[in-house]
């Protein structure tokens, strides 16, 4: 052990207390031992360092920081150099604010477009998500700050996120839900990782030895620390034994006592505790040294410019009929839509940044060579009818040659702590869009939304720009693209399906009660649409440019694929070339094709360049559940190069010999998985995939410590049902206000145990259990535990504090 000398001096009380946070964001310092404290902060697209006391989801404002485009946006750039630049800039701001661990990037897989946090995640594809995440990690860590890829793992749903079990087969787990993390760890060299709230196959992620030790540390060689998501610890002792280091945010000393009791009873070993302490000491000491002599400010304007470049590179031109874009110099335009005045540039939740400044279209458009006939909000965010504004918009549209319509998802549609229930944007925006279309055929739609939406109205538009959530400098980036100062080069990192009903997890998402069954298996996003031949509106990897590119001369050898890309238009521009691999006659079922590499190539008008995309250890592998190893199936693999998943331009092939004769599945037993038609997977077939019986996810009688507060509709106690109704009413009111109330959403979805884990020691686990008894109708017995627990907890806390004072 590296810190043997310190560990030898530590009492068991000090060790146990060290493995839990001291407040919302900091670890405990021990002066006597020379152990400093480190500071953690969100987040993935800007620093959220709270100015006053921390309160998790942000009642207290955070200090101003650059709000960069969110991960869902940046993934559309397919530019790992940009990712690294952003990471570096985030790291610099973190250092300036005294933040040692940056809680991001988030890279959960977009299993369903409905997940409320999709705007924070990169992609439906693990390879792209992993490469982008690794680039952020490298950039952040280059500044002496640790990155913390999250949420590990299989956390693709917000509903009851702390009281939900993801039921997923080992192959899907490895190939889809873990590969991105593997890349972030192996290539990005992430030094911390955040364990997620949910259970994975019946064991909390934070207690999951398979995830935290066998895979993360043993297979991938992770040598950093595992930090729990805020309140994700269930049984701290089991967490420590499984490989988790730091319980956050402020579990209080009850958790530390639990840990000591577990060592004393032999439930876990002292060796496990020492290992975790050693790993945490390594992080704390290194981070402390890294921060010595740090710069305490950063160049706000320079970072704003980086945010603008990032937004421009990540904007996707979905449609451009008659080359209506870029706008001609002096074009007569009407600017319509509330989003042009009040931009939607980030999502809600723990990632919410207090920006250093915000640019808007309405303020900036005057700087461009355009004739603006007028600007109107057109519709209201709240959905109220306003005939005068509507008329104003339609009049303007009549007077303009081109209408720039700014619209998208409102603030209340996407947030941490909730999932969407549909993929539509508000009807009042669509009604206006249709009316505008009646008076002016030259409609250009500029969409702000952090995730895929249904676009049944797309034919009203001649051109569409999908900006996702493009950060504080997004407006300038959009105007640069509209006017041609920047040539768009973004490509969507998720499929835009025709309708929600077409999405692969449509019938399985979100979970009903306790379990979320990942019945669609590997068939997430384009892997499904391609294989099951379901038509989509815009395919994965799609995006237009103002110039054109030609692909030629593919050669494939053992090392990779080489080909030439030429810019055949008259503007400089960048192209994202994508490499997909498939095994047409494979015996092991697999998606039609899978992304295994990509390159973003900047080419001057007329320029051509040879591009090489190398194969790596992930190109041909699949997880074999029989050998329990990555294997390669024998056969002739197609290696396809395309400008999107649906536009394959060059195809070559390569022979591979197999690594095992043991094949994992019998085709006759798995028709859905062999055809990709996974819309209605039978129980029997899902069990074949899982290799075990499907766990019973039904709620079974009594509420337990790990059931969510929003399940109190089951409560026997009338009082608890009343509290449930009150909570629901508060949540509903907040939802209707148009601004999600994060703290309410958090409380609504949190399990009873979180009362003990997130109250800084004020509530012990025994007290939380007492509350559960009350809820289950045993008022006096329960309250007895709560009151008795209160006194004994305060007494024990005081005694413990005295022991660790240094």
Is residue 56 part of the contact set for ligand BGC (CB under 6 A)?
yes
- Give the residue, chosen from 198, 315, 320, 350, that forms a contact with ligand BGC under the rule CB under 6 A: 350
Q: Residue 64 or residue 104: which is nearer to ligand BGC going by CB?
A: 104
Is residue 742 part of the contact set for ligand BGC (CB under 6 A)?
no
Tokens of 168: 């997923």
Is residue 414 part of the contact set for ligand BGC (CB under 6 A)?
no
At closest approach, how far in Å is the CB of 751 from ligand BGC? 13
Nearest alpha carbon to residue 465 among 591, 426, 449, 244 = 449
Write the secondary structure of 287-304 as one string of H (helix), E (strand) and C (coil): HHHHCCCCCCCCCHHHHH
Nearest alpha carbon to residue 123 among 616, 625, 578, 565 = 578
Q: How far apart are CA 454 and CA 429, in angstroms?
A: 13
Q: Residue 106 or residue 539: which is nearer to ligand BGC going by CB?
A: 106
At closest approach, how far in Å is the CB of 150 from ligand BGC? 5
At closest approach, how far in Å is the CB of 608 from ligand BGC? 44
At closest approach, how far in Å is the CB of 572 from ligand BGC? 39
Tell the residue number behind the tokens 């206006």, with chain if given: 432
Write the secondary structure of 373-408 as one string of H (helix), E (strand) and C (coil): EEEECCCCCCCCCCHHHHHHHHHHHHHCCEEEEEEE
Q: Residue 103 or residue 588: which is nearer to ligand BGC going by CB?
A: 103
Biggest alpha carbon–alpha carbon distance for the chain:
81
What are φ and ψ of residue 800, in 5° steps? Answer: -65, -45
Specify the pairing of strand 199-200 against strand 165-167. Answer: parallel
- Residues whose CB is less than 8 angstroms from the CB of residue 304 and which lie 6 or more positions away in sequence, other chains included: 66, 356, 357, 472, 473
Q: Provide the 10 A C-beta neighbour count for residue 492.
A: 25
Q: Residue 150 or residue 390: which is nearer to ligand BGC going by CB?
A: 150
Q: How far apart are CA 406 and CA 335, in angstroms?
A: 8
Q: At what angle do helices 126-141 and 80-96 cross, to 10 degrees?
A: 40
In the chain, % helix, strand, coil (3-state, to 5) comes to 35, 20, 45
Tell the residue number behind the tokens 């009594």, with chain if given: 702
- Give the residue, chosen from 125, 229, 454, 502, that forms a contact with ligand BGC under the rule CB under 6 A: 229
Q: How far apart are CA 488 and CA 288, in angstroms?
A: 42
Q: How far apart are CA 688 and CA 696, in angstroms?
A: 16
Q: Residue 86 or residue 263: which is nearer to ligand BGC going by CB?
A: 86
- Give the residue, chosen from 28, 88, 131, 150, that forms a contact with ligand BGC under the rule CB under 6 A: 150
- Give the residue, chosen from 3, 14, 15, 42, that forms a contact with ligand BGC under the rule CB under 6 A: 42
At closest approach, how far in Å is the CB of 348 from ligand BGC? 12
Q: Provide the 10 A C-beta neighbour count for residue 590.
A: 22
At closest approach, how far in Å is the CB of 251 from ligand BGC? 14
Q: Which H/E stretch holds residue 447?
A: strand 443-448
Length in residues, the chain: 806
Tokens of 426: 């508000």
At closest approach, how far in Å is the CB of 287 from ligand BGC? 17
The CA–CA distances, whole Å, from 299 to 62, 363, 370, 557, 746 equal: 18, 23, 31, 46, 35
At closest approach, how far in Å is the CB of 57 from ligand BGC? 7
Q: Residue 192 or residue 389: which is nearer to ligand BGC going by CB?
A: 192
Specify the pairing of strand 463-466 against strand 443-448. Answer: parallel
Q: Residue 103 or residue 583: which is nearer to ligand BGC going by CB?
A: 103
At closest approach, how far in Å is the CB of 249 from ligand BGC? 7
The 78-117 site mask, x for binding ligand BGC (CB under 6 A), equals -------------------------x--------------
Nearest alpha carbon to residue 346 among 311, 382, 379 = 311
Q: Provide the 10 A C-beta neighbour count for residue 329.
A: 11
Q: Residue 350 or residue 516: which is nearer to ligand BGC going by CB?
A: 350
Q: Residue 350 or residue 489: which is nearer to ligand BGC going by CB?
A: 350
Query: Does the annotation mark 229 as catalytic?
Result: yes
Contact 333, 351 (CB under 8 A): no
Active-site hit among 79, 165, 169, 229: 229
Looking at residues 434 to 463 of the shown chain, list those that interact with ligand BGC (rule: CB under 6 A): none
Q: Residue 56 or residue 303: which is nearer to ligand BGC going by CB?
A: 56
- Residues whose CB is less than 8 angstroms from the CB of residue 770 and which lie 6 or more positions away in sequence, other chains included: 782, 783, 784, 785, 786, 789
Dihedral angle over CA of 162, 165, 169, 172, nearest 10: -30
Q: Residue 103 or residue 325: which is nearer to ligand BGC going by CB?
A: 103
Nearest alpha carbon to residue 507 among 679, 687, 672 = 679
Residue nearest to ligand BGC (CB): 350
What is the total count of residues that contact ligand BGC (CB under 6 A)?
7
- Give the residue, chosen from 68, 230, 615, 771, that forms a contact with ligand BGC under the rule CB under 6 A: 230
At closest approach, how far in Å is the CB of 229 from ligand BGC? 5
At closest approach, how far in Å is the CB of 216 from ligand BGC? 18
Q: Residue 154 or residue 463: which is nearer to ligand BGC going by CB?
A: 154
Q: How far apart are CA 576 and CA 551, in angstroms?
A: 11
Q: Provide the 10 A C-beta neighbour count for residue 746.
A: 22
At closest approach, how far in Å is the CB of 363 from ligand BGC? 32
At closest approach, how far in Å is the CB of 25 from ligand BGC? 8
Buried b (16+ CB within 10 A) or exposed e, 690-703: beeeeeebeeeeeb
Q: Residue 40 or residue 588: which is nearer to ligand BGC going by CB?
A: 40
Q: How far apart are CA 271 and CA 324, in angstroms?
A: 67
Tokens of 235: 């049984």
Alpha helices in 619-706 (DSSP H): 671-675, 683-690
Residues designated as active site:
229
Give the binding site for ligand BGC (CB under 6 A): 42, 56, 103, 150, 229-230, 350
């Amino acid at each position: 052990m590296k810190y043997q000398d310190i560990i030898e001096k530590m009492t068991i009380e000090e060790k146990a207390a060290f493995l839990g946070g001291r407040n919302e964001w900091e670890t405990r310092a021990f002066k006597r031992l020379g152990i400093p404290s480190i500071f953690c902060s969100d987040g993935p697209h800007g620093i959220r360092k709270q100015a006053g006391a921390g309160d998790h989801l942000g009642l207290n404002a955070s200090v101003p920081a650059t709000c960069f485009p969110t991960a869902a946006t940046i993934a559309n750039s397919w530019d790992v150099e940009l990712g690294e630049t952003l990471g570096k800039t985030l790291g610099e701001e973190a250092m300036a604010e005294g933040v040692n661990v940056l809680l991001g990037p988030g890279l959960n897989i977009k299993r369903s477009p409905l997940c409320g946090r999709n705007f924070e995640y990169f992609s439906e594809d693990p390879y792209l998500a992993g490469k982008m995440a690794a680039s952020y990690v490298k950039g952040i860590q280059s500044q002496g700050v640790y990155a913390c890829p999250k949420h590990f793992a299989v956390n693709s749903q917000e509903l009851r996120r702390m009281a939900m079990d993801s039921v997923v087969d080992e192959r899907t787990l490895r190939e889809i839900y873990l590969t991105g993390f593997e890349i972030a760890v192996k290539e990005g060299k992430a030094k911390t990782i955040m364990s997620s709230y949910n259970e994975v196959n019946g064991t909390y992620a934070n207690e999951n030895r398979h995830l935290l030790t066998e895979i993360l540390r043993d297979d991938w060689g992770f040598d950093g620390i595992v930090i729990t998501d805020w309140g994700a610890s269930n049984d701290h002792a089991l967490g420590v034994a499984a490989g988790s280091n730091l319980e956050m945010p402020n579990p209080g000393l009850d958790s530390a006592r639990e840990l000591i009791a577990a060592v004393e009873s032999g439930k876990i070993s002292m060796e496990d505790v020492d290992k975790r302490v050693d790993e945490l000491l390594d992080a704390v000491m290194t981070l402390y040294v890294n921060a010595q002599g740090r710069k305490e400010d950063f160049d706000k304007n320079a970072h704003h410019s980086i945010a603008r470049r990032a937004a421009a590179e990540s904007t996707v031109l979905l449609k451009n009929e008659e080359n209506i874009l870029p706008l001609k110099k002096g074009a007569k335009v009407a600017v319509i839509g509330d989003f042009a005045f009040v931009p939607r540039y980030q999502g809600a939740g723990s990632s919410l940044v207090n920006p250093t400044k915000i640019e808007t279209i309405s303020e900036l458009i005057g700087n461009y060579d355009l004739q603006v006939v007028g600007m109107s909000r057109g519709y209201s965010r709240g959905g109220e009818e306003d005939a005068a504004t509507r008329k104003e918009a339609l009049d303007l549209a009549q007077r303009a040659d081109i209408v720039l319509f700014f619209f998208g998802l409102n603030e209340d549609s996407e947030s941490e702590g909730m999932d969407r229930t549909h993929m539509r944007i508000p009807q009042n925006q669509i009604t206006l869009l249709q009316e505008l279309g009646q008076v002016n055929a030259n409609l250009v739609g500029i969409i702000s939304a952090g995730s895929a939406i249904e676009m049944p109205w797309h034919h009203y538009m001649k051109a569409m720009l999908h900006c996702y959530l493009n950060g504080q400098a997004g407006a300038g980036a959009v105007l640069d693209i509209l006017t041609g100062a920047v040539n768009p080069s973004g490509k969507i990192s998720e499929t835009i399906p025709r309708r929600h009903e077409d999405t692969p997890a449509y019938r399985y998402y979100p979970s009903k009660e306790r379990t979320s069954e990942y019945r669609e298996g590997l068939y997430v996003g384009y892997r499904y649409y391609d294989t099951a031949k379901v038509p989509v509106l815009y395919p994965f990897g799609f995006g237009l440019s103002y110039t054109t590119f030609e692909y030629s001369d593919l050669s494939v050898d053992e090392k990779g694929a080489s080909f030439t890309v030429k810019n055949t238009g008259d503007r400089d521009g960048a192209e994202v070339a994508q490499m997909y691999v498939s095994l047409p006659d494979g015996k092991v079922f697999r998606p039609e094709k899978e992304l295994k590499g990509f390159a973003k190539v900047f080419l001057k008008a007329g320029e051509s360049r040879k591009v090489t995309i190398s194969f790596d250890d992930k190109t041909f592998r699949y997880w074999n559940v029989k050998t329990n190893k990555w294997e390669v199936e024998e056969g002739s693999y197609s290696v396809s190069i395309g400008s999107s998943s649906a536009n394959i331009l060059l195809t070559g092939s390569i022979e591979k010999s197999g690594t095992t004769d043991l094949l994992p599945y019998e085709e006759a037993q798995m028709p859905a998985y062999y055809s990709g038609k996974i819309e209605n997977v039978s129980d029997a077939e899902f069990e074949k995939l899982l290799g075990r019986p499907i766990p019973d996810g039904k709620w079974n009688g009594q509420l337990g410590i790990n059931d969510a507060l929003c399940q109190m509709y089951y409560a026997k106690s009338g009082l608890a049902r009343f509290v449930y109704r009150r909570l629901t009413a508060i949540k509903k009111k907040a939802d209707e206000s148009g601004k999600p109330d994060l703290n309410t959403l958090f409380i609504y979805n949190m399990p009873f145990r979180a009362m003990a884990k997130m109250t800084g020691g004020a509530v012990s686990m025994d007290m939380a259990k007492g509350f559960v008894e009350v809820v289950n109708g045993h008022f006096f017995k329960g309250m007895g535990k709560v009151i008795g627990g209160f006194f004994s907890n305060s007494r024990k806390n005081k005694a413990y504090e005295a022991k660790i004072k240094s």
